[in-house]
Structure 1
Amino acid sequence: MYMSSVARQVAWRQIERSLENPEEIVQFRQNLSAFHYYVSESGEVLFEQVSDQIMLDNQIVESARTSAQSYVTKVFGESGSPYQKSENEELASIYRQLRNLSRAGRQETRLALLMQLILESPHRTFKIFDLYTDRGQYTRQVIALLRSVFQRPDFELTPDAIEEVIAAYVPRFYSMSYYGNRGVLLEKLAKNLSPYKKIVRAVYRKFESSRSRDVLENSVAIRRALAGNSQLRKLMLDDETVDANQNSISRQDAQNPLRAQGEK
Structure 2
Amino acid sequence: MKNFKVTSLLCTLVMLTSAHAESDAHSPKKVDFTFKGPTGTFKRDELQRGFEVYKNVCSSCHGLAHLRIGNLQGKGKNIHEVRTSNLGLTKDEVAALAAEYKVQDLNADGEPIERKATPVDKFPAPFPNQKAARAANNGAYPPDLSMVVKARKGGADYVYSLLTGYQKAPEGVEIGEGRHYNPYFPGGQISMAQPLHTEGQVTYSDGTKATVEQMAHDVTAFLAWASEPESDDRKELGIKILFYLLIMTIIMYLSKRKIWADVK
- What interval of TM-score do these two structures reach, taking the shorter chain for normalisation? under 0.3
TM-score (norm. length: structure 1): 0.21
Look at both structures and tell me which one has the larger radius of gyration over its CA atoms. Answer: 2
TM-score (norm. length: structure 2): 0.21
Higher helix share: 1
